[in-house]
Amino acid sequence: MTSGLQFDSAGRLRHLLTIEGLSRQTILEILDTAESFISVGEREIKKIPLLRGKTVVNLFFEASTRTRTTFEIAAKRLSADVINLNVSASSANKGETLLDTIRNLEAMHTDLFVIRHSESGAAHLTAQHVPAHVNIINAGDGRHAHPTQGLLDVFTIRRHKGSFAKLKVAIVGDILHSRVARSQIHALSTLGVAELRVVAPKTLLPTAVEKLGVQVYTRMEAGLEGADVIMMLRLQRERMQGALIPSEQEYFNLYGLTPAKLALAAKDAIVMHPGPMNRGLEIDSAVADGPQSVILPQVTYGIGVRMAVMALIMGGSAEPAGGRRQA
């Protein structure tokens, strides 16, 4: 099981491959540690020596801006040496396998690989074949998981809403193709939100999605009613096969977040989006840039959360200033 592979014999987090299987205590430990790192970005010198002498390789086989950049910043703020491998210009483009690429980079004394890959299970496969001193973080694999995005999303929710216990959360959009949605669902379920909803047309819902403990809505208006948190998802056209939506305009009319639809949610509801946003398709600019949007803070918090994950799996966890928070 992937979740078992994530821990070493002492029960310490060794890899982060998926949120599925992580305990509430482990998730809260990551969130609490992230709290202690957020202030680092506000200092004049944005560095702490926690991972000095360690080497982190960002190995991205898919395009990325936010995730790759925030991982790079996070590692550098922890004083690690960082290598960003341009896969399109590497031997992988000449037919070298993923494991051969990893083994060659291991020979250069790499301590941590941050891997994004189009194939589900790529990070899991890599974690099965690296020596005990090497750590793996999954930065997104196919449709499977994007654990640090799920963690930064729940961090954002806790920052803006406090306790999870009474929250109604609606995840809206392309649930079928979204690794982010899967990670969010596992994280929010483990943290015990009061109500977790998915909102999408039937063509963009996974089979038997309700078995994940979510309430399913195909009408956006019903799905948003009284929601405290609205998570919009990108329409992942590059993963779609066939016509799963009638037209982009009709999709926006039915499932795009507009001020009128937002008004159906709780008055103090927050709006989230993992990015990149397609304005006018998933979300209206008036909402994306409006006072209820926390889309840019999500990006900022992502640095602290990724610092926390790196610190914890590489053995350098720090007790958060002011002690532990609970949610």
Residue 318's pLDDT is 39
Pairing of strands 135-141, 168-172: unpaired
pTM (predicted TM-score): 0.91
pLDDT tens figures, 86-110: 776 555 555 578 899 999 999 999 9
pLDDT tens figures, 211-264: 999 999 999 999 999 999 999 999 875 544 445 676 888 999 999 999 999 999
Residue 94's pLDDT is 52
Collect all residues with Cβ–Cβ distance below 8 Å to 87 and sequence separation of at least 6.
Answer: 59, 60, 61, 93
CB 245 within 8 A of CB 203: yes
Q: Which domains does the chain have, with CATH numbers?
A: 2-145+300-313 (3.40.50.1370), 147-297 (3.40.50.1370)
Q: What is the CA radius of gyration of the chain?
A: 19
Distance of CA 19 to the CA centre of its chain: 9
| DSSP SS3 for 114 | strand
Residue 93's pLDDT is 56
CA distances, 284 to each of 61, 278, 281, 289 (Å): 31, 9, 8, 9
Residue 9's pLDDT is 86
Q: Which residues pair with 272 in a beta bridge?
A: 231
Q: One digit per residue, pLDDT tens: the chain, 327 residues? A: 455 789 988 888 999 999 999 999 999 999 999 999 998 988 888 899 999 999 999 999 888 889 999 999 999 999 999 999 877 655 555 557 889 999 999 999 999 999 999 899 999 999 999 999 999 999 999 889 999 999 999 999 999 999 999 999 999 999 998 999 999 999 999 999 999 999 999 999 999 999 999 999 999 999 999 999 999 999 875 544 445 676 888 999 999 999 999 999 999 999 999 988 999 999 999 999 999 999 999 999 999 999 999 999 997 443 333 344 555
